[in-house]
Chains A and B, each alone.
Chain A
Amino acid sequence: MTTTSTPKSTGRATAFSERTNPVRGEVLLEVEGLQRHFPVTQGIVFQRQTGAVKAVDGIDFQLIAGETLGLVGESGCGKSTTGRLVTRLDEPTGGKITFQGADITHLNRRQMRPFRRDVQIIFQDPFSSLNPRQTVGTIIAAPFDIQGIKSEGGTRKAVQDLMARVGLNPEHYNRYPHEFSGGQRQRIGIARALALRPKLIVCDEPVSALDVSIQAQVVNLLDDLQDEFDLTYLFVAHDLSVVRHISDRVAVMYLGKIVEIAARDELYNHSRHPYTHALLSAVPEPDPDAVKRRERIRLTGDVPSPLNPPTGCRFRTRCWKAQDVCAEQEPPLVQIGAPGHLAACHFPEERDVV
């Protein structure tokens, strides 16, 4: 018999070679003046627009291939919306998104398809993003099926490998989402996002539902996968300690704007923006007696609404350093201190908070 000498290319191998792999250090994703305003309307049949939630209101940043950009900020400031925009699950109302040189700002669903497997998202609400009628196995296998990718040993084995990698018991292959605990549901979402080995993963609070030990495992896993496959992460989280561990750079958002962005240690040790100070000072320390020792900056004053953001600096209604100029002029995001350290404040200064 003739031995088949032609190398049998598995679906995965061919699919991979077609894709241009990003070179470490190149700009993978660029966002300029990104904006998303949600119209607020009244009436159902005859709708009148009565205002807009300015969820993301003109932000710029770059993602370098192979890096992790941490995104932190007040709840409701537009982090998830930003994540949904760069993965194009939502369409910007302004600005531009460039992925590997291609303008993807207004691509429609069909045009986005080639980018879909390159750009994945891990959702913040694990349960509601999982179809309650599908077993976990089906959910994780879905990306394989949609993109028509076969892997050796069958999809089932690939899925069970993934489950094991994110710390799920592969024997739970046939269970439904509601039978899992909160943290387990989150890991299902992670496994699903990893299935296609994308280039960019937006992680929207991927570990906040996990206990610290599994959180450590998942963070390490994300780290390993990044090294192995040159992944780039946009990592949204509230746990500033986790963000410090995983990020190369960190951006701080407040009410639809980036107010400070810098390399990790620069940001944690030499932050300049008052909101960043408030944030870092409020991190609860895992030490019952430390609570009294540390000085937390309590934010007082009106919590501004994205429906009607304050003039000038958006933080001024709660800033203890605010002057008249803060209400009149919006502080630009400019370089302060080390290269790559930008902050938007009229009176930036360092403060020891960590």
Chain B
Amino acid sequence: MFNYIVRRLLQMVLILFAISAITFFLFWATPANPALLICGKDCNTERIAEVNASYGFDDPLIVQYGRYMSGLVNPGGRELGSEGSQEHCSWPCLDRSLQNGLQVTDSIADAIGPTFWLATGAAVLWLVSGVLLGLLAALRKGKWLDKLSVGLALFGVSFPTLVLGYLLVFVFIVKGGLLPYPDQANSSPSAGLVPFFQFYILPWVTLALVNAALYTRLTRANMIDTMNEDFIRTARAKGLGERQVVFKHGLRAALTPIVTIFGLDLGALLGGAVITERIFSIQGLGKLSIDSVLGNDLPVVMGVVLVAAFFVVFANIVVDVLYAFIDPRVRLS
């Protein structure tokens, strides 16, 4: 298992390498021209040439890519810029933004906090509500509670996030005044728990709804299948109480596939929840990535893509390892 984990981590590094290369070369394959962006309003050919020279946009792409990667490969980081704007960028160096000149590592570090709280909070919400509802529905199969939760799930899946988000804002903030307008200062728990929850509750609900619905359906289906298994019958035949049968024997088996999907979903979300962040103007990775793409800001695009890819790939590894802990059958092979 240890060897396996090491192998997977090495694999991850390779994947990230490949992704960085693909992003980099794809970016240059588009008609985008970052030099134009940098040189600003009073731009002329001379100034553009200057910019190209100082940022190295003249160099062959492969050289530029090598320069970018040196900040990630070299444990000492790299020196950025020229003329008066020289600065050191320590490992892992993701270069500087073309728009505001800030180091990308710092921008990401700032944006990761809100995204982290948003994603994990929503994940907890949809996991708990999805599993609970699904479980209840499965145990009351065919009864009204089941029908209700199936209906809710259908509703949740088909409700567009964008509409839901703006609807919540309208009802709870604009019209109802039940919650304050979002204030970026409250985006971390250090601002106090009440403002923190007030800040995140609507984004959580918005982000969690679709997944909660999907997880309800999944849990219900898995649980119904599992409760038909022979080993459940054995558990009852031992004289176990229904609660133990359901939780110890049934849920354990039914949740296994859900753990996998949960890990992957959460991993994907940590790269940013674009729509939700936008609706609630949360300064997270999603917003950062939108801004950078719209602004042709290559270093930031690269940074955001790499971070998002890292979470996805890493979540994959965590899930696989976790699976081995849960299901002894995959342990040996």
A interface, CB within 8 angstroms of B: 38-39, 41, 43-47, 127, 132-133, 178
Contacts and interface: CB of A to CB of B under 8 A. Distances in A.
Nearest to A41: B332
Given A132-B225, A132-B228, A46 B332 contact: no
Interface in B222-250: 225, 228-230
Given A44-B324, A47-B1, A178-B229, 15 more contacts: A38-B332, A39-B332, A41-B332, A43-B1, A44-B325, A44-B331, A45-B1, A46-B1, A46-B2, A47-B2, A127-B230, A132-B225, A132-B228, A133-B225, A178-B228
B113 to A, nearest CB: 30
Contacts, number: 24
Interface in B60-108: none
Interface string B297-321: 0000000000000000000000001
Contacts of B1: 43-47
Contacts of B324: 44
B228 A45 contact: no
8 contacts: A38-B332, A41-B332, A43-B1, A46-B1, A47-B1, A47-B2, A127-B230, A178-B229
Contacts of A38: 332
B162 interface: no
Nearest to A127: B230
A178 B230 CA distance: 8
Q: Does more than half of chain B's interface fall in helix, strand or loop, or is it mixed?
A: helix
A169 B5 CA distance: 49
A127 B325 CA distance: 25
Nearest to A176: B228
Nearest to B324: A44
B2 A132 contact: no
Interface of B: 1-2, 5, 225, 228-230, 321, 324-325, 331-332
Nearest to A44: B1
B234 to A, nearest CB: 12
Nearest to A132: B225
Nearest to A133: B225
Contacts of A127: 230
B332 A45 contact: no
Contacts of A41: 332
Contacts of B2: 45-47
A43 B331 CA distance: 10
A132 to B, nearest CB: 6
A172 B224 CA distance: 21
B270 to A, nearest CB: 24
Contacts of A44: 1, 324-325, 331
A132 B232 CA distance: 14
Contacts of B331: 44
Contacts of A39: 332
A19 to B, nearest CB: 30
Contacts of B229: 132, 178
Contacts of B5: 45
A77 to B, nearest CB: 20
User: Which 5 pairs, one residue from A and one from B, show the smallest C-beta to C-beta distance?
Assistant: A45-B1, A46-B2, A178-B228, A47-B1, A44-B1
Nearest to A46: B2
B328 to A, nearest CB: 9
A39 B333 CA distance: 10
A133 B228 CA distance: 11
Contacts of A132: 225, 228-229
A132 B254 CA distance: 13
A302 B230 CA distance: 33
Contacts of B332: 38-39, 41
A47 B6 CA distance: 14
Contacts of A46: 1-2
Contacts of B321: 45
Nearest to A179: B228
Contacts of A47: 1-2
Nearest to A178: B228
Nearest to A90: B333
B319 to A, nearest CB: 15
Nearest to B3: A47
A47 B2 CA distance: 7
A144 B120 CA distance: 45
Contacts of B230: 127, 178
A265 to B, nearest CB: 40
B306 to A, nearest CB: 27
A281 to B, nearest CB: 34
A124 B225 CA distance: 22
A132 B221 CA distance: 12
Nearest to A45: B1
B223 to A, nearest CB: 13
B131 to A, nearest CB: 20
A124 to B, nearest CB: 15
A178 B324 CA distance: 27
A47 B325 CA distance: 13
B217 to A, nearest CB: 14
Contacts of B228: 132, 178
Tell which of A41, A47, A133 has the most Cβ of chain B within 10 Å: A47
Nearest to B321: A45
A220 B121 CA distance: 63
A39 B2 CA distance: 16
Contacts of A43: 1
Nearest to B222: A133
Nearest to B231: A128
A39 B332 CA distance: 8
A275 B145 CA distance: 61
Contacts of A178: 228-230
A216 to B, nearest CB: 27
Nearest to A128: B230
B222 to A, nearest CB: 10
A136 B230 CA distance: 18
A133 B224 CA distance: 11
B327 to A, nearest CB: 12
A132 B229 CA distance: 8
